[in-house]
Amino acid sequence: MADQTQLYHSGSLTDGWRLFGAHPATEGDVHGWWFNVWAPHAKAVSVVGDFNGWDLTVDPLTQKGEFWQGFLPDLPVYTSYKYAITGEDGRVHYKADPYGFHTETRPGTASKLYDIEHFSWTDEDFRRNKQPVYHQPLNIYEVHLGSWRKHENGEFLDYRDMARQLAAYVKEMGYTAVELLPVTEHPLDDSWGYQCTGYFAPTSRFGTPEDFMWFVNHLHESNIPVILDWVPAHFCKDEQGLYEFDGTCCYEYADPRKREHAGWGTRVFDYGRPEVVSFLLSSARFWLEMYHIDGIRVDAVASMLYLDYGRQDGQWTPNIHGGRENLEAVEFLRKLNTMAFEVDPNVLMIAEESTAWPLVTKPADVGGLGFNLKWNMGWMNDMCHYLKLDPWFRQDHHRDLTFSMMYAFSENYVLPISHDEVVHMKGSVVGKMPGDYENQLRCTRGFYAYLLAHPGKKLLFMGPEIGQWHEWDSNGQLDWYLLEHEENQQLHAFFKAANAFYKAESALWDIDFDWQGFEWLVSDDNHNNVVVFLRRDQAGNELLCAVNFSPNDYENYRVGVPPRKRYVPAFTTDAPEFGGSGFADTKPLTVKDTPSHGKEQSVALRLPAFGAVFLRGEGSFTKRGSATKVKKVKNRKRS
């Protein structure tokens, strides 16, 4: 206990859930629960609930320095409780347990007694066989559990039903991992979990802590890693939460120019306070260790790094050097990532960081933040802007397609088309595309192929694979009825086939973070809205990737290529079974001794409108041939 207390006060306690909260205990022959809570400025603390009529005089805790502790006998599992904390000013604050494992279902706000130590895990093979992400395929399906699928009466699926259906679906569709919007307990459905009150409690909306363990275990049995969104940047100001926990600023900054995110209506964690650092480190380790989570996506990292984030001049406090960098948050993130890789060497630590902060995915001991992946927000913004343009105007915005390669290997990037891109009047992924619904589906296929081909790991929020055209509604569910229509069935089949193709082609993922895995062939054809490039794996296998963002079919589109003997069609978005016209090449293309694009040899491709083609390079060049002219075949209808 003394050693743990010392670690806690030094910001180095990483398993604080074992010290704090409510735990089964025995005193003499009496079974009960031992409580321990940090409330440094409290005058008194007691445990209250229905079991004692919420009377703060019945079960007081004893003060031990900054902690309040005590034993309560004969309370059953699931008993609801809160801490009644009397502040220095005499006011009483009724607080949920910061380290509570289970909670009442909203609108209830109390913690519930729960023992998490007895689940029987069966995922040993999965955990033993995990591999580092760097040279592996990673295609993440991002899911909001509350709105992926519901019962016919509109009620939530529970964790176990969700696990069965989600694991089967993800496995069928060929995604390689699942990322969940926050499941840490939160009072408001509309916050999607990003304003939470329970950093050690999976939300009770879908069941018990053991049910969520079953969820993770079941996905692991289907060989599906589980990534959690986690929010150490801020917390909500609901009375039962961490907000002014003992009547003073315990978990948030006391400085009014640092403690508030006014735009979000939330409080900012005090990263300079060791006890807060221990709390957050313990929360992250808790999910990795106790729930076998495979990765943590850290939300809103930019808001942590900059003291002036969302603040006007004069409304923020500089650091000790007079700068805008939050040095305490930087140190916390380095400690977080170092700790995470000690718990699991193959963990995915993913930063949602929207600025050009350097070395986000470099190790902490060389000056980096220590993540191993970072969302590429620049690529996402450029692509969403480009996709919404009428194709006639895309020629003036070709940079949106190509600029990402100026910095593509500065970090280990994930290419995200996330939930943030399909809410708040931004429309669905399909709805961003120009033209009528037929062309929107065609554009969606072409764009997804481009996403899979571009260097970087992948993430796509649920819905585009069925042609979802409504903007995401967190209170509803995906429009699964669309799969009653042939065109949506064809799109669904495309996503399944594209994901399988991605996993099978090592050139698309083996070298994601280095120029050795990528080569431009055509980067400047803005007039035709075309980009062509090569992807390579470590063995030297080549995959030619050509994407046509125009409404025109192009025949004999000549491209300079390396000296291969031929290029063999491997995949196209325009296949008839996907709803396409079948315009792309179906037979091997012989490389000609015709210079083009700075190469001595070239091939002539057929590029379908709004489509993509992939061809494998084979053999070594030995023949000579003649050139042909590019022919624009037709302009697909646009509305």
pLDDT in tens, 102-121: 999 999 999 999 999 999 99
pLDDT tens-place string over residues 134-151? 999 999 999 999 999 999
At 572 the three-state DSSP class reads strand
The answer, yes or no, to whether residue 490 has pLDDT greater than 90, is yes
Show me where the domains of the chain are located: 2-112, 515-635
How many residues make up the chain in this entry? 639
In our burial notation (b when 16+ CB lie closer than 10 A, e otherwise), range 302-335 reads bbbbbbbbebeeeebeeeeeeeeebebbbebbbb
The answer, yes or no, to whether residue 626 has pLDDT greater than 80, is no
pLDDT-based confidence at 635, cuts 50/70/90? Answer: low
* CA 277 – CA 632 distance, rounded (Å): 61
Cα distances from 463 to residues 168, 485, 495, in angstroms, run 16, 15, 11
The pTM assigned to this predicted structure is 0.95
The answer, yes or no, to whether residue 27 has pLDDT greater than 70, is yes
Give me the catalytic one of 244, 294, 299, 585: 299
- Residue tagged 């082609």 (tokens): 505
> How large a percentage of the chain has pLDDT more than 70?
97
Q: Which residues contact 49 (CB under 8 A, 6 or more apart)?
A: 79, 80, 81, 82, 110
pLDDT tens-place string over residues 193-230? 999 999 999 999 999 999 999 999 999 999 999 999 99
* CA 437 – CA 426 distance, rounded (Å): 17
The answer, yes or no, to whether residue 172 has pLDDT greater than 70, is yes
* CA 589 – CA 505 distance, rounded (Å): 19
Max CA distance (Å), the chain: 94
Per-residue pLDDT, 639: 36
Active site residue 328: no
Mean pLDDT throughout 294-311?
96
Distance of CA 133 to the CA centre of its chain: 15
Mean pLDDT throughout 300-316?
94
The answer, yes or no, to whether residue 632 has pLDDT greater than 70, is no
Record: fold of 2-112: Immunoglobulin-like (2.60.40)
Cα distances from 587 to residues 8, 245, 501, 570, 576, in angstroms, run 66, 69, 18, 10, 16
Per-residue pLDDT, 620: 82
Domain 515-635 has CATH 2.60.40.1180: yes
The answer, yes or no, to whether residue 487 has pLDDT greater than 60, is yes
Closest C-alpha to 571, from 541, 601, 545, 534: 545
Active site residue 294: no
pLDDT tens-place string over residues 39-78? 999 999 999 999 999 999 999 999 999 999 999 999 999 9
Give me the catalytic one of 352, 353, 382, 555: 352
DSSP string, 212-256: HHHHHHHHHHTT--EEEEE--S-EE--TTSSTTTTSS-SSB-SST
Arithmetic mean of pLDDT over the chain:
95
In our burial notation (b when 16+ CB lie closer than 10 A, e otherwise), range 546-571 reads bbbbbbbbbbbbbbbbbebbbbbbbb
* CA 421 – CA 26 distance, rounded (Å): 52
Per-residue pLDDT, 424: 77
